[in-house]
């Protein structure tokens, strides 16, 4: 403690506006177990006492209430998304040298692009995401899901992440992007490195390994893009962009295409894989509601929305203030970096009644912020919902009697933003499979 003897002021205890940082704010650890296990619970104190606070650990302002998180998403001019994919943990010189050796130059895509470039690009590229255009993916998704379930349906026990929830959304993502089949296996290997690179806290030794994978991912993405350029008539969202490039070279730049080739895989894959894992876990933990959707599959779309609210795969996103402003009455200086925590917003009792109860009949579940909000709102939301619904339809039909393996430890990749258990063990009695009982 500072005595009367004029101890120097401890600047780590002051926020950038010179106000003291509370003990709770100083203790907040976005890479710690409490946040990884239950981000909304770990920030309950903040929603109640200090809804916008400065975290010295992170160097970010943390925004926790529903209305404030939504207001930040809504104003993408005052709160620029340009830092959305910046490394949250700066790399060592050695790791940066590895990236440089690979020519790594990840740049703006959509999610981190400012206006007016963002809207021009989004409008030019959005058509393949409409429900009508996505309809032809549906049979592909269903076939993939069925083939995967076939492999373990008689086993009686499976880690659903390892057996299908990782691979199916990745395959769908690569199909959607238009990646040739022969490149899929290679791209699969790299995608985890990107999450750690962007939202994790790797040690200096880990950083070098992560940089090596990310660098190779970048180079390989460039090679796949070159292949697409040879034959831009191929199906998929990336060839669609390549075909538009001659008409609008300033909007669809080379740098955009290369960056999106890499970022698009993560945007479409990790998100949906984690979302489905979280949803299956939640529904099986709330058995009565699982049984309701088994009895009436018409409830599945609502169940998907409630699971996205309760346990979305992206728990926090980032913005940077472009001017002096305020959030919920708290002064925020220009240049302030913000961690806006959707998981906390989605459990804000000021907006959702009994937010910590899963309720597939909740009438405002669809107001969750898991897909963001406003002009950057997730373009892939219809694709993600379709995948989640089909996966739930197939499980409720073929393995309605499955249950979580009791007492399993759920583990998470330490990072601020992408959340879902690394394994999900379920078990069932294959003798009771409906397909056998009723051939």
Contacts to ligand HEM by CB under 6 A? 73, 81, 110-111, 122, 176, 264, 267-268, 271-272, 275, 312-314, 317, 370-374, 376-380, 383-384
Q: Which residue is nearest to ligand HEM (CB)?
A: 380
For β-strands 425-427 and 157-159, DSSP reports them as antiparallel
**The 3-state secondary structure of the chain, one letter per residue:** CCCCCCCCCCHHHECCCCCECCHHHHHCCCCCHHHHHCHHHHCHHHHHHCCEEEECCCCEEEECCHHHHHHHHHCCCCEECCCCCCCCCCCCHHHHHHHHHCCCCCCCCCCCCCCCHHHHHHHHHCHHHCHHHHHHHHHHHHHHHHHHHHHHCCCCEEEHHHHHHCHHHHHHHHHHHCCCHHHHHHHHHHHHHHHHHHHECCCHHHHHHHHHHHHHHHHHHHHHHHHHHHCCCCCCHHHHHHHHCCCCCCCCCHHHHHHHHHHHHHHHHHHHHHHHHHHHHHHHHCHHHHHHHHHCHHHHHHHHHHHHHHCCCECCEEEEECCCEEECCEEECCCCEEEECHHHHCCCCCCCCCCCCCCCCCCCHHHCCCCCCHHHCCCCHHHHHHHHHHHHHHHHHHCCCCEECCCCCCCCCCECCECCCCCCEEECCHHHCHHHHCC
> Of 102 and 362, which CB lies nearer to ligand HEM in the complex structure?
362
In the complex, minimum distance from the CB of residue 276 to ligand HEM, in angstroms, rounded to a whole number: 8
> Of 140 and 155, which CB lies nearer to ligand HEM in the complex structure?
140
In the complex, minimum distance from the CB of residue 265 to ligand HEM, in angstroms, rounded to a whole number: 9
> Of 115 and 223, which CB lies nearer to ligand HEM in the complex structure?
115
In the complex, minimum distance from the CB of residue 134 to ligand HEM, in angstroms, rounded to a whole number: 10
Closest to 69 in 3D by CA, of 377, 376, 372 = 372
In the complex, minimum distance from the CB of residue 194 to ligand HEM, in angstroms, rounded to a whole number: 14
> Of 202 and 312, which CB lies nearer to ligand HEM in the complex structure?
312
In the complex, minimum distance from the CB of residue 268 to ligand HEM, in angstroms, rounded to a whole number: 3
In the complex, minimum distance from the CB of residue 373 to ligand HEM, in angstroms, rounded to a whole number: 5
> Of 259 and 271, which CB lies nearer to ligand HEM in the complex structure?
271
Closest to 344 in 3D by CA, of 377, 315, 373, 306 = 315
CB 282 within 8 A of CB 310: yes
Partners of residue 231 on adjacent β-strands: none
> Of 176 and 190, which CB lies nearer to ligand HEM in the complex structure?
176
In the complex, minimum distance from the CB of residue 388 to ligand HEM, in angstroms, rounded to a whole number: 7
Closest to 274 in 3D by CA, of 379, 173, 398, 134 = 173
> Of 30 and 372, which CB lies nearer to ligand HEM in the complex structure?
372
In the complex, minimum distance from the CB of residue 289 to ligand HEM, in angstroms, rounded to a whole number: 19
In the complex, minimum distance from the CB of residue 129 to ligand HEM, in angstroms, rounded to a whole number: 7
> Of 81 and 355, which CB lies nearer to ligand HEM in the complex structure?
81
In the complex, minimum distance from the CB of residue 124 to ligand HEM, in angstroms, rounded to a whole number: 11
> Of 92 and 375, which CB lies nearer to ligand HEM in the complex structure?
375
> Of 25 and 85, which CB lies nearer to ligand HEM in the complex structure?
85
């Amino acid at each position: 403690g500072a005595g009367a003897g004029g101890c120097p002021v401890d600047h780590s205890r002051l926020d950038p506006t010179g106000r003291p940082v509370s003990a709770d704010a100083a203790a907040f650890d976005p890479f710690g177990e409490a946040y990884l296990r239950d981000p909304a619970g770990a920030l309950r104190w903040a929603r109640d006492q200090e809804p916008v606070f400065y975290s010295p650990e992170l160097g970010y302002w943390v925004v926790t209430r529903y209305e404030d998180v939504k207001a930040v998403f809504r104003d993408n001019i005052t709160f620029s998304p340009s830092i959305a994919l910046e490394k949250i943990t700066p790399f060592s010189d050695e790791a940066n040298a590895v990236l440089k050796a690979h020519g790594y130059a990840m740049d703006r895509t959509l999610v981190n692009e400012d206006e007016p470039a963002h809207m021009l690009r989004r409008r030019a590229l959005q058509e393949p995401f409409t429900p009508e255009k996505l309809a032809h993916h549906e049979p592909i998704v269903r076939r993939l899901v069925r083939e995967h379930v076939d492999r373990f349906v008689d086993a009686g026990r499976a880690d659903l992440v390892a057996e299908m929830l990782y691979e199916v959304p990745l395959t769908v993502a690569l199909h959607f992007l238009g990646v040739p089949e022969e490149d899929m296996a290679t791209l699969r290997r790299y995608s985890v490195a990107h999450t750690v690179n962007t939202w994790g806290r790797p040690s200096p030794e880990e950083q070098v390994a992560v940089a090596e994978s990310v660098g190779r991912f970048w180079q390989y993405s460039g090679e796949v893009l070159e292949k697409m350029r040879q034959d831009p008539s191929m199906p998929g969202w990336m060839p669609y962009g390549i075909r538009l490039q001659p008409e609008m070279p300033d909007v669809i730049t080379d740098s955009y295409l290369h960056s999106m080739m890499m970022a698009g895989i993560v945007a479409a894959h990790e998100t949906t894989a984690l979302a489905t894992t979280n949803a299956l876990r939640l529904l099986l933990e709330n058995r009565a509601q699982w049984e309701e959707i088994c009895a009436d599959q018409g409830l599945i779309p609502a169940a998907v929305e409630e699971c996205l609210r309760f346990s979305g795969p992206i728990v926090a996103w980032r913005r940077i203030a472009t001017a002096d402003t305020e959030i919920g009455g708290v002064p925020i200086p220009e240049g302030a970096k913000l961690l806006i925590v959707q998981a906390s917003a989605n459990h804000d009792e000021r907006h959702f009644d009994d937010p910590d109860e899963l309720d597939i009949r909740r009438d405002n579940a669809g107001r969750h912020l898991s897909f963001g909000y406003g002009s950057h709102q997730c373009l892939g939301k219809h694709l993600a919902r379709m995948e989640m619904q089909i996966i739930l339809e197939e499980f409720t039909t073929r393995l309605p009697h499955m249950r979580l393996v009791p007492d399993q430890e759920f583990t998470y990749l330490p990072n601020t933003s992408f959340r879902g258990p690394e394994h999900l063990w379920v078990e069932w009695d294959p003798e009771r499979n409906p397909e056998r009982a009723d051939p």
